[in-house]
Every structure is written in C-alpha cells, then in structure tokens.
Amino acid sequence: MKLLAKPFAILALLMFSLAGMGQGLKQDISVHDPVIIKQDSVYYIFCTGSGISVWSSVNMVDWKREKLVFAEAPQWAVDTIPGFKGHIWAPDISYHNGLYYLYYSVSAFGKNTSAIGVATNKTLHPDSPDFKWVDHGRVIQSYPGKTNWNAIDPNLITDDKGTPYLVFGSFWGGLKMVKLNAGRLSVADDITNIPTLASRKKDASASGANAIEAPFIFKKNKYYYLFASIDYCCKGPASNYKMIVGRSKNIKGPYVDKQGIAMSKGGGSLILKPDSNWYGAGHNAVARLNGTDYLVFHGYDARDNGRPKLRILKMHWKSGWPELAN
C-alpha cells in the first residue's frame, strides 16, 4: 500500500495543477476593437482598455487575461490629450525585423483631439526575459479645426516592396492613409492634404455625420481589401455597427465595392450586419492563422444586454470577395 501511495499522490498533485492552470480561463470574453496575432503556439488578442488589454490562448477558445501593456498612462499622451486617464483605443499589432509593433490611439471622446502612438517589444511572451514594451510616443496627431481627419484606429499595412503605410480614421473626413518611414515610427508623407480612402458621404462637402471608422487592410492574392465599420458602436442594445469591404490592386486605392462604387464616394459591400443574436458587429481585424483566414471583431450580445464580446469567424473567398463561413 505504501508503494501505491506515491503514484496516487503524484496523480492528485497533477490533477490539482491542471485544475489550477484552468483557473482564470474564459471563453465568453468581453472585448472592444480586438486584433489578433500568433507567436509560436500562443495566440494574443490586444484590445481597447485601460493601458491596452491583452488576452492569450493556445486554441482561440479559452482565453487568459494578461498584464496590461502600460501600467501607467504614457506621459506624452497625458500631455497631449486634455483629461486623458489612460484608456487607450483600438491597438494594432504587427511583426517586422525582430520586433512587434503595437500602434494605439488616444483621444478625447467625440472630438478629433487625437493621436496615434507606437510601442515595440522583442516578444509577446510575458515570461520571456526579453519581454519589455518600449514606448516610442506619437506617430501622428489630429487637431480640431485644423485637420479634417481623426487620428485613431490605426492599422499597419505594407505594399509588395515592403513600404509601410498606416491607415486610420474615424468620422470627420473619413478613412486616411499615410506612408511611414522605414523605421515605422514616424510619418514620411506630407499630412497637410491626406487623400480619403473611404467615406459614407458621396460628396465630401455634404453636411451630417460621416459614420465610418476602424479601417483594416488585408492583402489576398492580387488585391488589397479595405475593411471598415459603419454606423454606430458603443451603444449596447442601441448599437447598429456593420462591416463593409472594398478592394484595389493598388494599396493607395481607389477601393471599390462589388458594384464598382468607390468607397471614397460612399461605396462598400456589406459583409456583416446586426441580427437577432447580435445588435451590431464591427471594428474587425483579419488574420491568416494556420492556413485559414479569420475575421476577428467584437459584437454586441443581444443575450447579454448588448455587452461587447469577442467573435472570431472563418472567412473564405468567392469570386475574389470575402465571405463568412456558416
């Protein structure tokens, strides 16, 4: 009997350890503006939150909350945005030349008093000795009464030559794009007259709200696909967020929808809209993981009083256009 005691003790300890590993894992996680990336065998979600929220998973189903990117609000952001308390919006994650680049936005709500910053890290694994976020501060800024665009919702995309561009924007003059310097930390373009990639207005001079935001560009075969979110987020059951898409063979556009209408003139083919289960869905990212393309976004759960939840759907392509798998 004593000979059996040790194996049973080891088994009990193992079961306890496995149970402990499962503690804190969640499937139905509440996120806003998620973006996903994979390092080694671990998937990481970065999303809007105080200090930038981070989740990790080994299967894209069970998620563990990780430490915030910023324990304290970046000082440059505090100095730039009146009343800023550290709530950071819409991060974007990418990898280049041994570094992870995390672009993020800070803003006064409802105003284009906004700026996009960037931080880098050698690894996303918190237990690595190389893990350390280094903040490089402001990349681009918008000013009320001076710029007709809003410097939030960044997404990095490179052309076939490896030239980096930052697409961004919300409301105001619509979605914009600027070229970055090779180091990806500063803007290379003249920002006094940035062309519009997408707008809900057919005529730029028309009055009224321009409810478009959250651009994300994904290259597939010979086309660049521009995804965007239209109508309104952040209203719980009153949200009516939707996603649209257009495409172009040139990274700078023009991006057109299935009917050939330019997104800069109000075009955009609908890819996802509200239904009986979700009041709205939007602010998406696109990622190719393990040979499959995924649409990653948040939806307002009709079964949970409109609380924003993480959604990940497989995406396939039909006649050169993205469609969501059933």
213 flagged as catalytic: yes
Candidate list 92, 153, 213, 301, residue with the active-site label: 213
CB atoms within 10 A of CB 268: 27
Tokens of 91: 């991060």
Q: Which among 149, 160, 230 is positioned nearest to 187, based on CA atoms? A: 149
Q: Which among 108, 111, 96 is positioned nearest to 146, based on CA atoms? A: 111
- Cα separation, 173 vs 182, in Å, equals 27
DSSP helix, strand, coil percent of the chain (3-state; round to 5): 10, 45, 45
33 flagged as catalytic: yes
- Cα separation, 215 vs 175, in Å, equals 7
Tokens of 39: 């390092």
Q: Which among 319, 253, 311, 252 is positioned nearest to 280, based on CA atoms? A: 311
- Cα separation, 94 vs 31, in Å, equals 19
Paired strand residues for 135 = 119
Query: Using only C-alpha atoms, what is the Rg of the chain?
Result: 21
- Per-position b or e across 278-294, b if 16+ CB within 10 A of its CB: bbbbbbbbbbeeeeebb
Residues labelled as active-site residues: 33, 213
